């Protein structure tokens, strides 16, 4: 599995890198990427119409990559040195494009995305974290500060989506140091999620809650939880937009790292909401 790790060289991005290395261990590979914003190289592409179809360009595009290539490579070299020291497998790439477009496209080929909630400036990580939470095609780990994912709270807000999210956690969490508490409503059947986690050797317990689950999860996340995981559905049957907003809300408000997978809900309801 490749874990996508965007970096802009900021302290926040370095925290995200440390989390990504914890998740990767010796089983998965990190894909370190730095995106040079094409709008700073080509002002003509600043209009929404011009930006609509622009994606990432490869590192070999000499005409565009020259301006920021030295800085981008220096940033990636620093991240690569840390991975090498920790013996974590990695690849790295410089891309030129619109950061949110490039990163979201890359998530279609990634097992997870790990990124900082904010970076140096709005042209990099900070401006795209909320879009990634709601639109990425893989689970998104948003990191405020480094904390090893030891105590994990999984919000059982959508049965089908939580199975997909639990499958990702099974691949990424280290059972030797991580335990999972499942926060569920009294009527929820959580057996499929429990089985997935147990297959990986993860210790899992169920906590039943009558109050609105999202608010209960955010309150619990402020009390020693290292990772809050949820699909973002939030038990709101009104449609996908509300689901996406719930995921963004949780990622913004939680005091700890969050793992969201809003598109797990999107895929299940795509036909109904198309």
Q: pLDDT tens for residues 195-211?
A: 999 999 999 999 998 87
The DSSP letter of residue 224 is: T
Return the structure tokens found at 190.
Answer: 């959580």
The helix/strand/coil state of 128 is helix
pTM comes to 0.83
The helix/strand/coil state of 69 is helix
Indicate the class that CATH gives domain 2-143. alpha beta
- For the chain, residues classed under CATH 3.40.50.620 are 2-143, 151-273
DSSP H stretches of helix in 152-204: 159-172, 191-199
| Mean pLDDT score, 25-37 | 92
Return the structure tokens found at 59.
Answer: 């590192």
User: Above pLDDT 90, what percent of the chain?
Assistant: 47
pLDDT tens-digit readout, 114-145: 998 865 444 444 567 778 888 899 999 999 88
Q: What order do you get walking across the sheet with 179-184 strand by strand?
A: 90-97, 29-37, 2-6, 112-116, 140-143, 257-260, 227-230, 151-155, 179-184, 203-208
Which residues touch 7 (CB under 8 Å, ≥6 apart)? 13, 14, 16, 17, 32, 33, 34, 75, 76, 79, 125
Number of helices (H), then strands (E), in the chain: 12, 10
pLDDT tens-digit readout, 176-186: 999 999 999 98
**pLDDT score at 130:** 76
The helix/strand/coil state of 239 is coil
| Maximum alpha-carbon separation in the chain | 60
**pLDDT score at 127:** 60
User: Per residue in 23-51, is it b (16+ CB within 10 Å) or e — as a string?
Assistant: bbeeebebbbbbbbbbbeeeeebeeeeee
Multiple choice CATH, 151-273, 3.10.20.30, 3.40.50.10140, 3.40.50.620, 3.40.640.10:
3.40.50.620
**pLDDT score at 238:** 41
Which residues touch 240 (CB under 8 Å, ≥6 apart)? 265, 266, 269, 273
């Amino acid at each position: 599995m490749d874990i996508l790790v965007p970096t802009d060289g900021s302290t926040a991005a370095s925290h995200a890198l440390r989390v990504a290395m914890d998740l990767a261990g010796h089983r998965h590979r990190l894909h370190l990427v730095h995106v040079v914003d094409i709008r700073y190289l080509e002002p003509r592409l600043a209009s929404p119409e011009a930006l609509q179809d622009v994606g990432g360009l490869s590192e070999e595009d000499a005409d565009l990559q020259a301006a920021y290539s030295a800085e981008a490579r220096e940033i990636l070299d620093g991240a690569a040195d840390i991975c090498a020291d920790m013996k974590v497998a990695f690849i790295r790439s410089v891309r030129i494009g619109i950061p949110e477009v490039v990163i979201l496209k890359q998530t279609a080929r990634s097992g997870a995305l790990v990124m900082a909630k904010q970076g140096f400036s709005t042209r990099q990580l900070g401006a795209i974290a909320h879009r990634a939470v709601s639109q990425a095609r893989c689970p998104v780990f948003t990191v405020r500060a480094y904390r090893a994912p030891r105590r994990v709270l999984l919000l059982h807000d959508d049965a089908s989506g939580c199975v997909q999210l639990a499958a990702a956690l099974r691949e990424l969490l280290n059972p030797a140091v991580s335990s999972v508490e499942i926060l569920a409503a009294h009527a929820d059947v959580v057996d499929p999620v429990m089985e997935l986690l147990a297959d990986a050797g993860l210790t899992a317990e169920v906590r039943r809650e009558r109050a609105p689950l999202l608010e209960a999860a955010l309150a619990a996340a402020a009390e020693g939880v290292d990772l809050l995981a949820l699909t973002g559905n939030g038990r709101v049957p009104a449609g996908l937009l509300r689901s996406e907003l719930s995921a963004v809300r949780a990622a913004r408000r939680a005091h700890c790292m969050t793992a969201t997978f809003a598109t797990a809900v999107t895929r299940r309801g795509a036909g109904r909401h198309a």
